[in-house]
Amino acid sequence: MIDDIDIHILEILQEKARIPNAEVARQVGMAPSAVLERIRKLEERGIIEGYEVRLNPVCFHQGLSAFVFIETEGDSAETAQALAGMTSVQEVHQVVGPDGFLVKLRTAGNTSLAGILRHQIQPLKGVKSTRTQIVLETVKETRSVDLVHAERDL
């Protein structure tokens, strides 16, 4: 069971994962050792999966985001694994409907996107067709989970 203190700790960590444990303890009104124990338990239970650094993709010449709808036939598990192994692919989602997968990728621009589609994605076994949507502007992009409305029976 997740209680209100765990939720508060998770909210703090979602906002700033590198915050010192002592500061988390101060904000929740507990001893640092008690907070550290709670965080370890949340990690052990798989509620906290890890800690990431958010990099600016433009600084690495990966300013173009695109979503690719991929229609597949045959064994989709093999296709999913191949897509997940591509370095430019950030997300692979199996979806309901005519498209088997929705893939998010980042790359330098239209030329490199065309190369990824032609030479990496379209030749994959099981790929029947692709449709690509290029992102013009990202208004919001987050991995944060809504803890206010979350079910707490974990």
One domain, residues 15 and 83: no
Predicted confidence at residue 153, as pLDDT, reads: 59
One domain, residues 107 and 63: yes
% residues pLDDT > 90 (the chain): 84
- Whole-angstrom Cα distance, residue 70 to residue 82? 13
Residue 80 lies in a domain: yes
CATH at 25: 1.10.10.10
Residue 66 lies in a domain: yes
Predicted confidence at residue 150, as pLDDT, reads: 75
Q: For 115-130, what is each residue's pLDDT tens digit?
A: 999 999 999 999 999 9
Q: For 45-65, what is each residue's pLDDT tens digit?
A: 999 999 988 899 999 999 999
One domain, residues 38 and 92: no
- Whole-angstrom Cα distance, residue 13 to residue 24? 8
- Whole-angstrom Cα distance, residue 12 to residue 6? 10
Six-digit token string for 96: 């309901």
Residue 11 lies in a domain: yes
- Contact predicate 154/1, CB 8 Å: yes
Predicted confidence at residue 148, as pLDDT, reads: 84
One domain, residues 41 and 61: no
One domain, residues 8 and 66: no
Q: For 14-43, what is each residue's pLDDT tens digit?
A: 999 999 999 999 999 999 999 999 999 999
Q: Which residues contact 127 (CB under 8 A, 6 or more apart)?
A: 70, 71, 72, 79, 121
Count of structural domains, the chain: 2
Residue 144 lies in a domain: no
- Whole-angstrom Cα distance, residue 6 to residue 14? 12
One domain, residues 67 and 35: no
Q: Is the pLDDT of residue 154 over 60?
A: no
Whole domain around residue 114: which residue ranges? 57-135
Give the pLDDT mean for 134-140.
Answer: 96
Predicted confidence at residue 152, as pLDDT, reads: 63
